[in-house]
A and B are shown apart, each in its own frame.
Chain A
């Protein structure tokens, strides 16, 4: 009896949490978190904050003291392919061109929408995957 009550309470909390993050505007808008790297062993966390302003996609990579502004973003809505470009610091005052190309999937989901694909950072090549928070 008690476990049933706990199960129902858990379900209601889950539904409430889902409703709280409902997002139905432009599908790229929001904060996305996940990983990127040249291999599974070398993966690093990444946070993207994307917005739809003046009919353009704008955003920031890893907001905070080391934030990187996205300076070019293009979305092909026929394939839902999103390409983001930025000048990423690589140390010693240098930067390299960071370009991600990937697909947005699970567009209708508010809590499991995905953006994944490949990236280039100078000569480095790898993959990334982020989910809408």
Chain B
């Protein structure tokens, strides 16, 4: 049987390209408004008018690897390293961030949690907000919203996420946190901090599909002045958090060696003195 249209492969490709171009041209002629992305849905609100940070879906957090690329303050903004944090940043780059605590399945801590590429959900209650994270050791944060003051850092047990109190400033959730331990990096690229770290996070939802996250890092033990980073987190409607257990089958740790070439967990004590010079 003879096909109605018989074309050689090259001719068939040419026809397909022509059809595609014609389709694009036709759409362009039909007017820009026809194809324009619909405006995002407005910011959802609770019954009392407070911004609803939750809903039927998840926040699909991006992977923020380098806070230096997220700085607020214009193109001249820089991370105000102290000499030791700059030297450690360079060391971590030279060792290909092999010793990142998050690689050991420890919680990312602080602002890095919102830049770890696993989704999150907010659960808003009257006196507190809970943020649950799928990744970063399957952890959660508690933000006290009952008006209690932020304690002195020496009065709280140092933890990965510190002690957080929050308040609403208009439609922006402002969260202040102190009491961090020193077992985390600020970001994937090896930006360090001390237990003097205090963060102020400003979280808003300008429309249904966007969470704007901003964090000011104030750590006089590691930086010469406070500095601020920000990024947006998109909403994925209808999705749910999954179970993710970092510790399971972590092959990375089994192969990790230190700068001396020894397995990282080979805890050999110091027994011999170096030779005298």
| Interface status of B234 (Cβ within 8 A of chain A) | no
A15-B253, A22-B183 given; A105·B274 CB < 8 A: no
| Interface status of B44 (Cβ within 8 A of chain A) | no
Q: Which of A19, A29, A34, A75 has the most CB of B within 10 A?
A: A19
Q: Is the interface of A mostly helix, strand, loop or mixed?
A: mixed
Size range of the chain A interface in the assembly? 35 or more
Q: Is the interface of B mostly helix, strand, loop or mixed?
A: loop
Query: With contacts defined as CB atoms under 8 Å apart, how many contacts are there between chain A and chain B in the complex?
Result: 120
A127–B258 CB distance below 8 A: no
Nearest CB in chain A to that of B98: its residue: A108
Give complex CA distance A121, B103 in Å.
42
A contact residues around B254 at 8 Å (CB): 11
B104–A22 CB distance below 8 A: yes
A26-B84, A37-B273 given; A112·B106 CB < 8 A: no
Q: Which of A25, A39, A129, A130 contacts B192 (CB 8 A)?
A: A25
| Interface status of B48 (Cβ within 8 A of chain A) | no
The 3 closest A-B pairs by CB, nearest first: A25-B182, A108-B99, A77-B87
A19-B105, A25-B194, A35-B270 given; name 11 further pairs at CB < 8 Å. Answer: A18-B104, A18-B265, A24-B184, A26-B192, A35-B271, A35-B273, A40-B273, A52-B194, A52-B221, A108-B92, A112-B266
Task: Show 20 residue pairs from A and B whose CB-CB distance is below 8 angstroms, ordered by the A residue.
Answer: A15-B265, A17-B265, A18-B104, A18-B265, A22-B104, A26-B84, A26-B194, A27-B88, A52-B194, A78-B87, A109-B264, A112-B258, A112-B262, A112-B264, A112-B267, A125-B276, A127-B276, A127-B277, A129-B274, A130-B270
A residues adjacent to B (C-beta < 8 A)? 11, 14-15, 17-19, 22-27, 29, 33-40, 43, 52, 55, 75, 77-78, 80, 105-112, 114, 116-118, 125-131
